[in-house]
């Protein structure tokens, strides 16, 4: 056994090395700095001699002269908030397992560092110009967004895979994820500023499908039940993750919004999270014999950020944000208290961190809300920002048949359907692949235990 | 007993639910996005066709054209720092109690999420236009400032109230706090950029008065004395709170300053905190038989941020900031070592986290310093920024009888007096209210123990 | 013994007090706010009536009109990231020692707060105008950079000195460090945007030399070996430090770059750290019998940030950054696994935190890389930013004999040589001084143990 572990660890090292070398080669062949990170003289100028800044979307409609650190001022602080969410937020959130803290943090760290490279490449391949793709601060941001989906999936299968399985899972998932999002954004023209559909729904249901297929191991629930007990210390560490995610979620939901709409996205997310936190405590007292459940506080308080994600930059109004957040908190607590057990016992889906409750159902809710908000969008409410929020409704040269609000709503629902379908299917297939012996499936007794892969 | 707890928990849930529903209704009726978070076409323009940005105070004196993300660039990073101070800073700072970590973090989280909604409403009611109040990024900031006062009070009564009592306390305190501040700023024209008077002094003495009135339970000190012992792990968690508060305090003290003065506020606070940290170690060695007390390191190192809070944007000069910080550190350590015991034994005021040492006395010091700095203000030192720092000294249409520096100093002291009086009185009254059976007072033996309200 | 400790603690308090008083006097005599933190009317204007902003370097070449919060927008968020690296990053990184957590955090806090004052003074003395030096946001930043070097050194001697020894060490080191950097930047015109040479190499080798000279105590290795064992809890705390350092390193490497080059520095550092993290896991599996070593994860993952530090704002291209980061990770792991033991057994250099692996060797690598990148710099690649990146190559009035790229490369290597020499020599001398009885050397049995100086 010990020998197998050593051999499996070394094999993993060589696979990882191979991928890293391939990444370096692919970056060498295809990646270059974006104009904004290049010398100013190397940037293309328009007819007026203005050199464009980093934000392609905005720049196209802007008459502002070139501003060399436009991107840094606009994006950098929010980018760092998102970065903290990925590495501290997700990393510590998952340290609640009594004997799996090293793995939660360590594998989270490794997967994220691996994925931000691979997501940069995949996304780059989908946005090539003249055989190259360009890297700027928004590239790093979208790479972090890609990592978010993988870390959500990681939460569903936490404790049940070997490092090699985690890695292959991440590799496949990023590829499918980026294509799904590309189709959703370019073809479906889906509005999803905070990635609730393309990141949260995708990551959660990919992970659940994957976990279901791998559930032949009956060790899952049993192993988990003896090892899942948290300690006070692990709960306090886990709260570090929760609170950083909660605080910085407004950055996650607003950073990709057009500059003019960012503040509204911040306000909406702030209030949605506030009422979601209150809703969680209410449900916790009601569902837990008048006591507070740390599991709910650690997870359900965040559901409001997911549920408002697709509409964060729209005019849902502060009271609307409060209602959305409240609903998400209740939904998430219902999931933890009632649905989780059904998933496990009836459908044999074991969900270690409860990602269905935190990311899955609130993500679906976000998509439904976005359909309602799109369907009821009116120019009188949005005024001059109408077409900035809903670009697909504007008649332009590239968009000769503008959509009606109702049609946009239908496309939002279609994007949800596509994402659910693709995530479940590709997750299940990935799970089947991971069962292959070649990927060193984790032996049952080694689950939920750092000792399998960490020098203690 | 167990049954009572369950019933009390459910009652709390319904009360919380009722408040959340009322909040949503009030937001629906009274709140709307500020111009800056609205479509540009919905914003009022001045005679020159310029549309104003978010900062009312600045905008009124500014000729700058409309900048759509002015507020985001100016405020957002500092706002997030303040947000971290509230949720990570205060939350973890209070985890030092061996058996009360869940409550410290959890109740801190709930109270803050509750208060930022209620503070938004209260402040909104005090700033209505045509039956509506407007929400922008500064609203979120001032809501967080309001939460700070409540979390300071929470520190004074930590471990001694039931969730329902904490909630009612927060509800009453925010109402009084916002009115007190409104009077202080609008009528007294107090200068208090870092909220040392209106946030720190108010929160601390409200909490101490409240704690005093509730002290009929003799369990307080006894229960605390057996449970207060920290462990190495709880101390390290507590330091997470301390250090985040310490690092981000320059943001707290400068974010509300006019843009031109922010940098000075950052510099002053940075140096005040540095010398305060040094002073704390000096006192700790001298007061603790040549050893370092973690209690002092966790608390007194922060007093410099409070003490410079009312004058952070004034010309106190770097050496002045160092002196202020040093004095605050000494004062705070003297409080911990000598005054705390007197308060408890002579005045029957039990101060769980020592807020008198960290917020109370340094806040009073801040007010006294502000009186001195105002009294000695001269146009030759402040130059063109004289009236920006001291607007009440300028003769304008709205301010026909400008104050003299000495008069402004007197108003600073009056604001301190008013705040002390209002906080002590309203805190004591709140304490009396909280003794009512209807608010489920916490039974003595359940104090300082997570088990009363957390599912373990 | 107990008595000695008390006496020694009090003596330390008085020494610290004396220094703080001297600092206050020196600040009073020599320090004033920079123009930017002063009233606008007190700032000098140029011939066109434009008042310059904070960034001297940029302002000199800029025609931009005065922008009162230019510095705040440009620097503040990155400054706060660096601040977090110093106090949370270094502080928690060093908490891994089982019985030395209070000291790691507490002494780190004290030394940093002490050093930012002393570094401000030292640097000020080297940049005096008319008997005064000026303080602005960049002053705070460079003070934090100075603290970084001292905290690196602290890592090398961690657990082996008394508070007084730590303090004297910091005092001497800052003085030498600032002079060395001044010579390196002004005379050698070294390019070292992320301080890999002047901060990391200096801090590491100063500390190692110091540790070597102090190694007459054979307790070092033995005491350490019984006390070094980490616990799961201390490892999770240590990872808080690691991850915050890792996430915010792009800020550290880009904040001092000219605005136009900041984004490139962020991109390069981001990718270097990603591949460095992957490299660390690869090496860990290979060097540790197929298991992950938390020691490597905590340290080697950061080496990429050091290795890219001197060239972060240059055109190394994304794939180049990946290669540099990967190499640094491997180098650092080789250091931990193989070189560390040799240093200890053959050279009697005891390196508590392994700063040679994280800062020393990767810093040397950074300098070598910078020489290669300078030597191969071409105007066709850098275009209009050529002289912004490599100012010494431009012929100007002040620079009549511009360097060739090859000559700049030689100067980079010279700066490395000088820094290594100065650090080793001054570190060794400092170690000798610290052996003096007057500085209360720590008795052997008291090493690596909080009890010596903390009230438990």
The reported pLDDT for the residue numbered A287 is 94
The reported pLDDT for the residue numbered A385 is 84
B248 vs C: CB within 8 A: yes
As a whole number, mean pLDDT of residues C345-374 equals 96
Distance CA A218, CA A216 (A): 6
Closest by alpha carbon to A324, among A338, A340, A343, A305?
A: A305
CA distances from A358 to A241, A280, A351, C58 (A): 14, 12, 11, 47
Closest partner CB to B274 (pick from C95, C117, C139): C117
C217 vs B: CB within 8 A: no
The answer to whether C109 contacts B277, with C-beta atoms less than 8 Å apart, is: yes
pLDDT beyond 50 at B396: yes
pLDDT interval class at B385 (50, 70, 90): confident
Phi, psi for B117 (deg, rounded to 5): -75, -45
**Torsion over CA of B101, B103, B106 and B111, rounded to 10 degrees?**
-130
Higher pLDDT, A27 or B290: A27
Higher pLDDT, C66 or C146: C146
Higher pLDDT, C55 or A417: A417
pLDDT interval class at A64 (50, 70, 90): very low
Residues A259/A78, Cβ–Cβ less than 8 Å: no
The residues with which C94 forms a beta bridge, in sequence order, are: none
Helix (H, G, I), strand (E, B) or coil at B51: strand
Per-residue pLDDT reduced to its tens digit, B189-246: 999 999 999 999 999 999 999 999 998 655 555 656 666 678 899 999 999 999 999 9
Residues B234/B96, Cβ–Cβ less than 8 Å: yes
B136 vs A: CB within 8 A: yes
pLDDT interval class at A4 (50, 70, 90): confident
Q: What is the percentage of chain A residues whose pLDDT exceeds 90?
A: 75
Distance CA C396, CA B124 (A): 59
Residues A322/B23, Cβ–Cβ less than 8 Å: yes
Per-residue pLDDT reduced to its tens digit, A401-424: 999 999 999 999 999 999 999 999
pLDDT beyond 90 at C222: no
> Do the strands A31-33 and C133-135 form a parallel or antiparallel pair, or are they unpaired?
unpaired
Q: Which residues in chain C (282-321) have CB-CB distances under 8 A to chain A?
A: 282-283, 285-286, 288-294, 297, 301, 315, 317-319
Residues C180/C121, Cβ–Cβ less than 8 Å: no
Name the DSSP class of C45: B
Phi, psi for A153 (deg, rounded to 5): -60, -40
Closest by alpha carbon to C97, among C186, C228, C224, C191?
A: C228
pLDDT beyond 60 at A141: yes
The answer to whether C114 contacts B383, with C-beta atoms less than 8 Å apart, is: no
C378 vs A: CB within 8 A: no
pLDDT interval class at A44 (50, 70, 90): low
The residues with which C129 forms a beta bridge, in sequence order, are: C132
> Do the strands C31-33 and B133-135 form a parallel or antiparallel pair, or are they unpaired?
unpaired
Q: How far is A76 from chain B (nearest CA, A)?
A: 10
Q: How far is CA B117 from the centre of its chain?
A: 16
Q: Position of tokens 């013994």? A: C1
The answer to whether A17 contacts C282, with C-beta atoms less than 8 Å apart, is: yes
A384 vs B: CB within 8 A: yes
pLDDT interval class at A54 (50, 70, 90): very low
The reported pLDDT for the residue numbered C456 is 77
Per-residue pLDDT reduced to its tens digit, B401-441: 999 999 999 999 999 999 999 999 999 999 999 999 999 99
Q: What is the sign, positive or negative, of the torsion defined by CA atoms of C295, C299, C304, C310?
A: negative
pLDDT interval class at C90 (50, 70, 90): very high
With contact defined as 3+ CB pairs under 8 Å, the chains touching B are A, C
Q: Give the lowest-confidence range in A47-51, B73-77, C179-183, C280-284.
A: A47-51
What is the DSSP code string of B371-415? HHHHHT--HHHHGGGHHHH-GGGS--SS-SSPPPHHHHHHHHHHH
Residues A145/A195, Cβ–Cβ less than 8 Å: yes
Q: How is chain C split among helix, strand and coil, in percent rounded to 5?
A: 75, 5, 25
pLDDT beyond 90 at B318: yes
A377 vs B: CB within 8 A: no
Q: Residue C368, Cβ neighbours under 10 Å: how many? A: 16
Q: How far is C70 from chain B (nearest CA, A)?
A: 9
Tell me the ipTM for this assembly: 0.94
Phi, psi for C32 (deg, rounded to 5): -145, 160
Distance CA B57, CA B258 (A): 8
Q: Give the lowest-confidence range in A182-186, B119-123, C342-346, C373-377.
A: C342-346
pLDDT beyond 80 at B315: yes
Per-residue pLDDT reduced to its tens digit, C380-438: 899 888 998 999 999 998 888 999 999 999 999 999 999 999 999 999 999 999 999 99
Q: How far is C432 from chain B (nearest CA, A)?
A: 25
What is the DSSP code string of B135-203? E-HHHHHHHHHHHHHHHHHHHHHTTSS-HHHHHHHHHHHHHHHHHHHHIIIIIS----TT-IIIIIIHH
pLDDT beyond 60 at A63: no
Q: What is the percentage of chain A residues whose pLDDT exceeds 70?
A: 89
Closest by alpha carbon to A422, among A183, A185, A170?
A: A183
Q: Which residues in chain A (91-120) have CB-CB distances under 8 A to chain C?
A: 91-92, 95, 101-102, 105-106, 109-110, 113-114, 116-117
Q: Between B and C, how many residue pairs show a Cβ–Cβ distance under 8 A?
A: 177
Kindly identify which residue of chain C lies nearest to residue A16, measuring between CA atoms. C282
Contacts with A259 from chain B: Cβ below 8 Å:
68-69, 72
B381 vs A: CB within 8 A: no
Closest by alpha carbon to C359, among C246, C200, C207?
A: C200
The residues, any chain, with a CB within 8 Å of residue C203's CB and separated by 6 or more, are C148, C149, C150, C151, C152, C153, C173, C177, C355, C359, C423
CA distances from B33 to B128, B136, B137 (A): 13, 6, 10
- Give exposure, A253-282, as e/b (b: 16+ Cβ within 10 Å): bbbbbbbbbbbbbbbbbbbbbbbbbbbbbb
A444 vs C: CB within 8 A: no
Angle made by CA atoms A386, A390, A395, in degrees to the nearest 5: 85
Helix (H, G, I), strand (E, B) or coil at A30: helix
Per-residue pLDDT reduced to its tens digit, B264-273: 999 999 999 9
pLDDT beyond 50 at B61: no
pLDDT beyond 50 at A61: no
As a whole number, mean pLDDT of residues C277-293 equals 95
Q: Which residues in chain B (49-78) have CB-CB distances under 8 A to chain C?
A: 73-74, 77-78
Q: Residue B21, Cβ neighbours under 10 Å: how many? A: 13
B387 vs C: CB within 8 A: no
Higher pLDDT, A37 or C366: C366
As a whole number, mean pLDDT of residues C438-447 equals 88
Q: Calculate helix-pair angle for B232-254, B259-287, nearest 10 degrees.
A: 150
Distance CA B73, CA A67 (A): 14
Q: How far is B372 from chain C (nearest CA, A)?
A: 18
What is the residue-averaged pLDDT of chain C? 90
Closest partner CB to B290 (pick from C6, C69, C110): C6
Contacts with A31 from chain C: Cβ below 8 Å:
317-319
B273 vs C: CB within 8 A: yes
Q: Residue C376, Cβ neighbours under 10 Å: how many? A: 12
As a whole number, mean pLDDT of residues A31-36 equals 83
Distance CA B360, CA B356 (A): 4
């Amino acid at each position: 056994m010990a020998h197998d572990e050593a051999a499996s660890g070394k094999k993993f090292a060589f696979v990882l090395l191979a991928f890293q070398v391939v990444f370096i080669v692919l970056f060498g062949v295809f990646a270059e700095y974006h104009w904004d990170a290049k010398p100013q003289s190397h940037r293309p100028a328009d007819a007026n001699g203005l050199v464009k800044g980093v934000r392609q979307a905005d720049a196209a409609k802007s008459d502002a002269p070139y501003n060399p650190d436009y991107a840094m001022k606009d994006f950098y602080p929010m980018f760092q908030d998102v970065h903290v969410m990925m590495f501290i937020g997700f990393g510590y959130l998952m340290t609640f397992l009594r004997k799996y803290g090293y793995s939660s943090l360590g594998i989270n760290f490794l997967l994220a560092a691996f994925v931000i490279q691979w997501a940069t490449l995949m996304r780059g391949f989908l946005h090539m110009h003249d055989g190259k793709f360009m890297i700027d601060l928004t590239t790093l941001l979208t790479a972090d967004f890609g990592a978010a989906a993988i870390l959500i999936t990681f939460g569903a299968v936490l404790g049940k895979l070997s490092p090699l399985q985690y890695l292959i899972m991440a590799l496949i998932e990023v590829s499918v994820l980026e294509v799904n999002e590309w189709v959703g954004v370019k073809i479906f023209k889906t509005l999803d500023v905070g990635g609730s559909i393309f990141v949260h729904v995708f990551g959660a249901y990919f992970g659940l499908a994957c976990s279901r297929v791998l559930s032949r191991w009956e060790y899952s629930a049993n192993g988990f039940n003896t090892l899942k007990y948290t300690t006070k210390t692990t709960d306090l560490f886990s709260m570090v993750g929760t609170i950083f995610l909660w605080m910085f979620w407004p950055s996650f939901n607003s950073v990709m919004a057009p500059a003019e709409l960012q503040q509204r996205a911040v306000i909406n997310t702030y209030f949605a999270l506030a009422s979601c936190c209150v809703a969680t405590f209410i449900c916790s007292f009601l569902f837990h014999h008048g006591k507070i459940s740390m599991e709910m506080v650690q997870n359900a308080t965040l559901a409001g950020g997911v549920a408002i994600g697709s509409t964060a930059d729209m005019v849902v109004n502060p009271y609307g944000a409060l209602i959305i957040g409240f609903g998400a908190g209740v939904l998430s607590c219902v999931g933890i208290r009632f649905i989780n057990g059904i998933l496990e016992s009836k459908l044999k889906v074991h969900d270690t961190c409860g990602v269905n409750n935190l990311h899955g159902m609130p993500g679906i809710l976000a998509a439904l809300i976005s359909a309602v908000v799109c369907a009821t969008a009116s120019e009188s409410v949005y005024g001059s920002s109408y077409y900035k929020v809903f670009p697909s409704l504007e008649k332009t040269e590239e968009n000769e048949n503008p959509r009606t609000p109702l049609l946009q709503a239908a496309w939002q629902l279609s994007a949800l359907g596509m994402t659910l379908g693709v995530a479940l299917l590709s997750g299940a297939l990935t799970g089947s692949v991971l069962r292959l012996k070649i990927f060193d499936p984790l032996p049952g007794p080694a689950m939920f235990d750092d000792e399998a892969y960490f020098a203690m």
